[in-house]
A and B are shown apart, each in its own frame.
Chain A
Amino acid sequence: MRGPSIAHIVLVIAVLATVPLLTASNAVLNFLIVALLIALVGQGWNVLGGYGGQYSFGHAAFFGTGAYVTAILQMRYGINAWPAFALGIASGALVGAAIGALTFRSGLKGSYFALVTLAFAEVLRILASVAPITGAGVGILITLDLRPQAFQFQSRAPFYWIVLALLAASLVIVRLIEQSRFGAWLVAVRENEDAAKAVGVDTVRVKLVAMTISAAITAAGGGFYVQYFLYIDSGIAYGPWISIEALLAPIVGGIGTVFGPLIGAVVVKTLGELTKLITGDAPGLDLVIYGGVLVLIVAFAPHGITSLLAALRIRFARLRPSASEGTHV
């Protein structure tokens, strides 16, 4: 399958990795950390939604599980942050596999799948808002312990490199999926599920594996969120905001492409910051912009910004020879 090579990914990540060496501005690093976090979460959504064509409206279920498990294991069971983070990812994957098994075995797709994932996220949100183990309405504060062993750092640069490393891993995973037989099956499911089944693809299994990988990547974002902000509650963990950002990034950037979620997250977050600059920190206005961007992208660039760039490149490529022909006449 066409797409960027691993060398491309390494190059992009290497360039991004130099940012903390160039600036020590907390504002810049904070902005980029959040953007990369959304890119990571969006990459999770992209595996299932972009390549598999299964649009989840409830990726908060995985984000929140990753976040809560990371936090609960540390604060309630005294487990070190790093293994807690790893277990958070595993739990997110498990929740993904469980929801996937239930929904795909029942043959849910399209709008039903979107609806049921939304409902699962809401059930988890309500449960987390009343259960004592999640701190109910109060949420969980992670005790300040600024040591690398505790996955906490004095400055923002290490956080930046960690989220960048996680993103790099997700980019490589997605690229490997693209090139693999499994990736071809997944795209076949997206394009025409009945036809895929007819040629012998175990479509339920393919979707299930995709959902598990997708959930794991998104859960990594949740675990990182907790370590970075040191706080989680039911509204942040399982709220609709993260489900929307998870799908917005790949759709804006380019659905079903390796770099789509990264490009989309940077664009969307930049728009959000600009809105805040212009209007002050008004609640809701950044989300108004996000919703508007979602409608506009679907209306005018259904394949995202990357496709616009590709179209531009083709136009330029066409312009050049026609210009040289012009000189002949």
Chain B
Amino acid sequence: MLSPVILVPAILNGLLTGAVYGLVALGLTLIYGVLHIINFAHGALLTAAMFAAFFAHRLLALDPYLAAIVLTPLFFALGYCLQRFVIGPAAHGEDRNILLVTLGLAVVIENLLLYAFGADTRTLNLDYAFDIVDLGIAFLALPRVIGFGVVLVVALVLWLILSLTDTGKAIRAVAKEKLGAELSGIDVGHIYAVTFGLGTACLAIAACLLIPTYYVNPHVGNAFVLIAFTIVVLGGMGSVALVGGLFIGVVESLCGLYLGESLGQIGIFVMFILVLLFRPSGLFGERA
């Protein structure tokens, strides 16, 4: 066993990373919870958001945390349009078709980015990227601590939107009983698109939180999304998604510690498969 001196920072760092996983998963579960579809384009959209945050800094000298203010509404609009004008009409209401359409979108987005920017891995060099917070028992990277705080705020804001606003109430109504909601005058197509937009907006924020300490390349989103899927399958809807994210963050951090970086990722996949096999429908709901 490793001593607490190594173990505690590993766990804390895992928690910080996990918060961002949680945010990505939050977007995914929101879409799943309302539209009952698994959005395979989630990872590609995250990659796109990370590129956007990267170039906002590189070209416009916009700090990632400020870029979030611009990118969040932009990605909300993007998500809204994708659902309203592409996924919704193309799927003809069939689950199998939705799988394929979102997969097709993922392939298009990812490879457009590859075509435009090449396969190179890029990083931002921000002067605060290596600032640390000394907790006495562990040193934590400042950007990750900020990220953790922002995720909590975003989750709170989402919760407030869903529970207090009219649109939020409509979203919950559609999630519970689509037909009933439609009969009482809710525009389901619009609510679907709003939900998809909110899920995509979560990605823009996650991207801005990630970019100061992480790299970006055309495939970077996939790793996050498999983790997000794992969290969803673990049974995390809504706030539970955050907890799931934190849990996975710690697991990954510990696997990395014991198995090394490249095999550390396997821990997540194996856990994902095990969870799927042994509690397939779980809290995930009955629909497949």
Contact = CB atoms under 8 A, between A and B. Distances in A.
Contact of B107 (A102, A109, A294): A294
A159 B37 CA distance: 43
A77 to B, nearest CB: 26
B115 A283 contact: yes
A90 interface: no
A247 B100 CA distance: 9
A116 B99 contact: no
A123 B106 CA distance: 20
Nearest to A54: B96
Nearest to A279: B115
Interface in B193-213: none
A275 to B, nearest CB: 10
A295 interface: yes
A118 B94 CA distance: 21
B43 to A, nearest CB: 11
Interface string A82-122: 00000000000000000000110011111111111011101
Given A107-B280, A294-B100, A126 B269 contact: yes
B288 A109 contact: yes
Contact of A126 (B110, B229, B266, B280): B266
A110 B40 CA distance: 13
A302 B115 contact: no
B100 A298 contact: yes
Given A111-B38, A120-B273, A299-B90, A55 B119 contact: no
Nearest to B95: A110
Given A126-B269, A284-B218, A294-B103, A299 B111 contact: no
Interface string B269-285: 11011001110110000
A126 B273 CA distance: 15
B38 A115 contact: yes
Contact of B104 (A113, A122, A283, A294): A294
A291 B95 contact: no
A326 interface: no
Given A53-B96, A126-B265, A251-B100, A292 B108 contact: yes
A302 B96 CA distance: 11
B3 interface: no
Contacts of A213: none
Residue of B90, B103, B269 ringed by the most chain A CB atoms within 10 A:
B103
Contact of A110 (B96, B109, B111, B265): B96
A55 B106 contact: no
Interface of B: 37-38, 40, 86, 89-92, 94-97, 99-101, 103-115, 118-119, 218, 226, 229, 233, 262-263, 265-266, 269-270, 272-273, 276-278, 280-281, 287-288
Given A291-B111, A294-B101, 19 more contacts: A53-B96, A55-B100, A106-B276, A110-B99, A114-B38, A119-B226, A119-B269, A120-B273, A126-B265, A244-B103, A283-B115, A288-B112, A288-B115, A290-B107, A291-B107, A292-B104, A292-B108, A295-B101, A295-B105
11 contacts: A108-B277, A111-B37, A115-B229, A284-B114, A284-B115, A288-B108, A288-B112, A290-B107, A291-B105, A298-B101, A299-B90
Interface of A: 53, 55, 57, 102-103, 106-116, 118-120, 122-123, 126-127, 129-130, 244, 247, 251, 282-285, 287-288, 290-295, 298-299, 302
